[in-house]
Structure 1
Amino acid sequence: MIQITAILIDDERKALAILKNKIERLCPNISIIGETKSPTEGLNLIKQLKPQLVFLDIAMPEMSGFDLLKEIKNPDFEIIFATAFDNYAIEAIDHCAIGYLVKPIDNQDLVKTVNKAIQNINDKTALEKNKLLIENLGVLKLQNQKIVIPSQEGLEFVKISDIVCCEGTNGYTTIHLPYKKTILSSNSIGHFYKLLENQNFYLVHKSHLINLDYIEKYLNEGSVILTNNIKIPVSRNRRMDFLQSLKKT
């Protein structure tokens, strides 16, 4: 069995002990090589021990998990953040396809997130995703942040404001960008709806998520014309609500 080295950083002694116990019981692939309640000590442990995976609490008084990450020049390790449900934090992490666990940590969620992290370690994508998270945290306007889109060629880092619409087909999603460029993602339309629903996007149809900034015309037949002359149907049961949302923009 391949062992993944890990460090645990959480300023709460009880939370740290519970996390360690759960990992030792449920995640036999994980070898804990360091643990600390101090973010500063955690920073030193990361630099000295060079773990493959770091379990990192976000809300710590001395230094937040995000601030700790910013202190590392090349954060090439996989991260699983822990949070007591901070919407902004979860949104920022989600955009970068980085793992997170909501406290109190559920056993199934832990196993699922750890397995995904192990897969990511094998794919060697941590450095790019961590750098993107740091970049996004410095961007105040959410529409100017970027999201990670897994494609056939690897990972695409796309600015949210550049997404014209998302079209779901058979569990895949085609992302339409300006200048008629498209990206095919193995993620479902539901995945992108979850990421973008609070950022000026509207699910006009079960298979179509559109950026309201790119609407050029609404047709009475029940469809919209977007930039690039993309015609999208609007579900009959969503038309009234959709038209109301247009009036607010």
Structure 2
Amino acid sequence: MIRAIIVEDEEKARSNLMQILSEYCSNVEVVDAQDNVKSGVQAIQQHSPDLVFLDVHMQGETGFDLLEQIGKIDFEIIFTTAHNEYAVKAFKFSAIDYLLKPVDIDELINAVKKAGDKIKQDATKERYELVIENLKGQKSTFNKIALPTADGLIFVQVAEIIRCESEDNYTHFFLKGGERILVSKTIKYFEELLTDQDFFRVHQSHLINLNHIKEYHKGEGGYAIMSDDSAVIVSRRKKEAFLTKLSS
């Protein structure tokens, strides 16, 4: 049984979440529900939950204020938020689950299942430290990303990524120093995340870090020589947009 706490300042949203959990997530026991940061901290310290449903914005405070007050994060978190593009992107960079309000039943069931699989993993604290770091200052870019692999999460500096190459529903990451990581998400997922970080999808199979290009050779589409001396083909239909991006 997963012991859970809800910290949500809207009474209707809080009641709705409790009802859905009761009906569709029989493996979750809600041991407490609070509506602000202070009482949420007290509830977590008292009950030592496995899982916390945490609202991002609460009465002039945030769920991240709660996390900073808690100190030791030894439980899983599912964030709930009204649509906030910046926060959602930070969650994705940190491999953290979130639910958009109003909560969708299927998405909730899936998030609870994933949280159950992650409970007690060693990387829990580092993931939440990363999302707090990414959200501070509302920066347009993020320095670090969490990459999900078969063995868990690997945290890497975005600037260390030279290129990404797709293989079915997986993506190979090639890093400075020759390290290679196989990640269990598609290249399209990372294209959406990394385009604002100076990455460009030059080919159906290739996403490259523009800061690591050494040379570009002309041709039908041409190809780029990267900082690790790899040659990455540029598709014909991407060539014009790629050259425009390089010159901007």
Residue of structure 2 in register with 1:194 after alignment: 192
Residue of structure 2 in register with 1:97 after alignment: 95
8 Å contact from structure 2 (residues 164, 172) kept in 1: yes
Residue of structure 1 in register with 2:85 after alignment: 87
The AA in structure 1 aligned to 2:61 is M
Percent identical among aligned pairs is: 39
Structure 2, gaps ≥5 residues long? none
8 Å contact from structure 2 (residues 203, 234) kept in 1: yes
Distance 1:157 1:67, change over 3 A: same
Separation of aligned partners in 2, 1:218 and 1:129: 37
The AA in structure 2 aligned to 1:247 is S
Give the TM-score of the pair, scaled to structure 1.
0.93
Residue of structure 2 in register with 1:242 after alignment: 242
Residue of structure 1 in register with 2:53 after alignment: 55
Q: How many residues of Structure 1 are paired with residues of Structure 2 in the alignment?
A: 246
Residue of structure 2 in register with 1:157 after alignment: 155
Separation of aligned partners in 1, 2:189 and 2:52: 25
Distance 1:4 1:21, change over 3 A: same
1:45 has 2:23 as partner: no
Deviations 1:89-137 (A, max 9, x none): 1111111111000111111111111111111115453222112223333
Separation of aligned partners in 2, 1:226 and 1:188: 22
Residue of structure 2 in register with 1:179 after alignment: 177
Separation of aligned partners in 2, 1:160 and 1:140: 17
Separation of aligned partners in 1, 2:228 and 2:161: 12
Separation of aligned partners in 2, 1:47 and 1:32: 15
Deviations 1:145-191 (A, max 9, x none): 21111234432110111111111113221111112221122222122
The AA in structure 2 aligned to 1:177 is L
Deviations 1:5-28 (A, max 9, x none): 100011111111111111111111
Residue of structure 1 in register with 2:227 after alignment: 227
8 Å contact from structure 1 (residues 143, 160) kept in 2: no
Secondary structure (helix, strand or coil) at the match of 1:229 reads: coil
Residue of structure 1 in register with 2:16 after alignment: 18
Separation of aligned partners in 2, 1:150 and 1:15: 31
Separation of aligned partners in 1, 2:141 and 2:226: 18
RMSD between superposed Cα atoms in Å:
1.7
Separation of aligned partners in 1, 2:24 and 2:227: 49
Secondary structure (helix, strand or coil) at the match of 2:196 reads: coil
Separation of aligned partners in 2, 1:144 and 1:114: 27
Secondary structure (helix, strand or coil) at the match of 1:76 reads: coil
Secondary structure (helix, strand or coil) at the match of 1:85 reads: coil
Separation of aligned partners in 2, 1:65 and 1:130: 11
Separation of aligned partners in 2, 1:49 and 1:110: 22
Secondary structure (helix, strand or coil) at the match of 2:116 reads: helix
8 Å contact from structure 1 (residues 164, 177) kept in 2: yes
Separation of aligned partners in 2, 1:91 and 1:174: 21
Deviations 1:177-215 (A, max 9, x none): 112221122222122223212221111111111111111
Give the TM-score of the pair, scaled to structure 2.
0.93
Shift of residue 243, structure 1, vs aligned partner: 1.1
Shift of residue 84, structure 1, vs aligned partner: 0.7
1:106 has 2:104 as partner: yes
Structure 1, gaps ≥5 residues long? none
Secondary structure (helix, strand or coil) at the match of 1:71 reads: helix
The AA in structure 2 aligned to 1:239 is K
